Structure formats: structure tokens, C-alpha cells
Amino acid sequence: MITISINIAICEYDLEQQNILRKSIDDVFTNSKYNPEVNVYSTGENLINNYSDDTDIYILDMELYNEDGLEIAKKIREVNQDCEIVFVAFLQDRVQEGYEVGAFDYLFLPVSMDELRHTMYRCAEKIEKCRKNHKVLIEDENKNLYVIKINSILCIDKIDTTRIRIYTNDREITIKKNVSLIGEILNEYSIHMAKQSKDE
């Protein structure tokens, strides 16, 4: 089964709640195609200081200790419009504020596994769809240029030590081996690498 990495950052000051969320997320995605990589932060300041463009989902406590989760979300939105933000809260009185920063959803304490599963899977599916709608520019061995949608790539076949063939829905493209491009396609978009061809 192809696995899709989902990078998740949890910002929660309560240690017990940190552990519950982390374990629950692992349990939610057990035996699924999604592989969560979870980082946990106790303060918004720590989260911002360790900001990464690779983070797909932020799970933010709305009421951090001496901090406002909404203000942390605003700082994230200043540099990242593509990530998903999920707020954790006790009360529903600030829901509208959260949606003003593009919150994907709210989880209300105590968080049930069914609610967490429903929200995390919808997030993961949205992220997967967005990734596959991305396009890459590919130059073949004859210097022809193609713009290829990621979700049109069926597999990538290693021909020999210098060439790779990309199979899409409507064509085959042979390119010189490009480690960075192939790494991007394989690692970020979860495209399958076929075994080395025996016909050449």
C-alpha cells in the first residue's frame, strides 16, 4: 500500500492533553494509507520559532497558557495559506473568530475518537487531493518540455543508470535521471517507482 505522509503540529500546553491527542492521532491513522508525523509544542512561541513549511495540519489549543491560539493562527496564516488549522476548545463562543483565519474545523473537549477521526480524515483527504492537483515541468531526453499533472502519473520506471521513464494517463516520457525531480514526485506525491525495465 502506498503511504502518504501527513505532517501535523500540535500546540497544547497541558501535558496530559498533548499525550492524548498524539496517541489518538496515531490510533486514528493506524492501518490507513496516511502516515502521520507529529510534532508537539507546549507554547505558541515555541511553535512559531520552529515553524516549518512542511507542516500540513496545525492543531491549536484556542486558550493556551498566557497566549491566544487565534493570534498564533494569524501568525501562521501570514506565511502559510495552504495548511489546515484545527482548533481545540472547551466552549463554542469563539467559533466564528476561528473561521476568520480559515480554520478547517473545531474539536471540543473532551475530544471523542469519532470526532477526531472524522476531522483528521477529511483534512488528510483534502491535503492529498491538493497535492495531486499540483503540476511539474518535465524535460524529456530530446529537450521537449511537458507540463504534467501529478495525478496523471501512473508510475515511474527506472530504465538504466541514466534514464527514467514516466508513465502518465496519455503518454510515456523518457527523461535523464533527475534525482531532485524524482525525489519530489516520489516523496511528496507518493507515486510508485516500478522495477527496472529489462527491455533496454
Which pLDDT belongs to residue 144? 87
CA nearest to 196, candidates 159, 162, 169, 168: 159
> Could you read off the pLDDT of 8-25 as tens digits, one per residue?
999 999 999 999 999 999
CA nearest to 47, candidates 99, 19, 10: 10
- Bridge partners of 163, per DSSP, are 176
**Is 148 in contact with 136 (CB distance < 8 Å)?**
yes
Res 199 pLDDT > 50:
no
Q: Which CATH architecture has domain 135-194?
A: Beta Barrel (2.40)
Which pLDDT belongs to residue 200? 45
The structure's pTM equals 0.69
Per-range mean pLDDT, top range of 40-44, 168-172, 184-188: 40-44
**Is 60 in contact with 86 (CB distance < 8 Å)?**
yes
> Could you read off the pLDDT of 120-179 as tens digits, one per residue?
999 999 998 887 777 777 888 888 888 877 767 777 777 887 888 888 878 888 888 665
Model confidence at 198, in pLDDT bands (50, 70, 90)? very low
> Could you read off the pLDDT of 53-66 as tens digits, one per residue?
889 999 999 988 88
CA nearest to 3, candidates 30, 28, 35, 29: 35
Domain ranges (residues) in the chain: 4-132, 135-194
Give the pairing type, strands 153-158 and 193-194.
Answer: parallel
Q: State the Rg of the chain over Cα.
A: 20
* Superfamily for the 4-132 domain: Response regulator (3.40.50.2300)
What is the residue type of 69?
G
Helices (H) and strands (E) in the chain, counts: 6, 11
Left if phi > 0, otherwise alpha if psi is -120 to 50, otherwise beta: which for 75? alpha
